[in-house]
Structure 1
Amino acid sequence: MSEFAAGLPPLAEVLDRARVVAIPTRTRFRGISVREAVIIDGPEGPTEFSPFPEYDDREAATWLAAALDFGWNAQPPARRDRIEVNATVPAVAAAEVPAILARFPGCTTAKVKVAERGQTLADDIARVRAVREAMGPAALVRVDANCGWTVDEAVTALTALTAFDIDYAEQPCATVAELAEVRASLSGTVRIAADESVRKASDPLEVARSGAADLLIIKAQPLGGVRRALALVEQAGLPVVISSALDTSVGIAMGVQLAAALPVGKLAGACGLGTVALLDGDVTRDSLVPVGGAIAVRRPALDAELLAQYRADPDRDTWWRDRVARCYALLRHGD
Structure 2
Amino acid sequence: MLLSVENLSTDFPTKRGVVHAVENVSFTVGESEIVAIVGESGSGKSVMSLSIMGLLSDPGRVAAGTIDFMGADLATVSEREYRGLRGRDIAMIFQEPMTSLNPVYRVGDQIIEAIRAHERLSRKEALERAIELLDKVGIPCPQQRVRDYPHQMSGGMRQRVMIAMALACNPKLLIADEPTTALDVTIQAQILDLLRRLREQTGMAVLLITHDLGVVSETADRVVVMYCAQVVEEAPVRELFDRPLHPYTLGLLRSIPRLQDDDAKRLYMIRGTVPNPLEMPAGCHFSDRCDSCMEICRQRVPDLVEVDGHKVRCFLYEDSDGARKDDDGIAAGEARALADAETARQIAAADALLEAEDIRETEIEEHEGVKR
TM over 0.5: no
Larger RCO (alpha carbons 8 Å, 6+ apart): 1
Q: Which has the larger radius of gyration?
A: 2
